[in-house]
Amino acid sequence: MYDVPSAQLVASAGPFYATETFWTAAGVAVAVLVGCGAIWAAFRTAHPRRRLNCTISHTPLVRPALNGSLEVSHNGTALTDPYLVEVVLTNPGRRDIASSAFDRGEPFRVRLAVPYAELVETESDPSAALAPPARVCGAELRIGPGRIGCGTTVTYRVLVDTVPAHDCRHSLLDVRVHCATIPVTDRLTGPAPLVQP
């Protein structure tokens, strides 16, 4: 007597997403993505990227038509073509820029390329915020090192002689710096539109 093996029905393959292998692979992929996201978030928390905006503008103090009939001096120094330069630093981020962000204690430098320059005013917004110390060395404004709090705007005003040329240099660590220059303005006609280099 012969045994006839019973016929086995082979189930037809269903949709790929209904297989156990697919769901195992999908679980592994999700776990890898979640792990990478956690590592990235931890890195961003430990090493946050900070931002600093620097805007520089200059305004003539005397109209050209008056230059020949008016003499201007500051602390005994005669000025032939006086301008007021405004250097505005703004921290728009949610984290402070600490004093330690100034690599090797090097200041933020604004070169003005003028024969005479003197810092005449510093102000902060909010007013309770302390502005990083600043000084003029030759024709260069040196700012910091010093803390620039989140949401803080610091304005430095420098009196110069002749039209200044602006050049910014910095060695800030982990800070994205954006510099913009506003063209010369006339206090009687209003500011010109913003121009970015």
Closest C-alpha to 185, from 101, 2, 79, 59: 59
Q: What is the DSSP letter of 63?
A: -
Cα distances from 15 to residues 9, 18, 30, in angstroms, run 18, 6, 21
Q: How many helices (H) and strands (E) does the chain have?
A: 1, 11
Angstrom distances, CA of residue 10 to CA of 16, 26, 122? 17, 26, 85
Per-residue pLDDT of the chain (197 residues; tens, 9 = 90+): 555 554 444 444 556 556 777 667 767 777 777 776 666 555 555 555 789 999 999 999 887 655 566 777 778 888 888 999 999 999 998 899 999 999 999 999 999 999 999 999 999 999 889 999 999 999 999 999 999 999 999 999 999 998 999 889 999 999 999 999 887 654 444 444 333 33
Residue 185: the pLDDT is 53
DSSP state of 12: P
Q: pLDDT (tens digit, 9 = 90+) per residue, 94-142?
A: 899 999 999 999 999 999 999 999 999 999 999 889 999 999 999 999 9
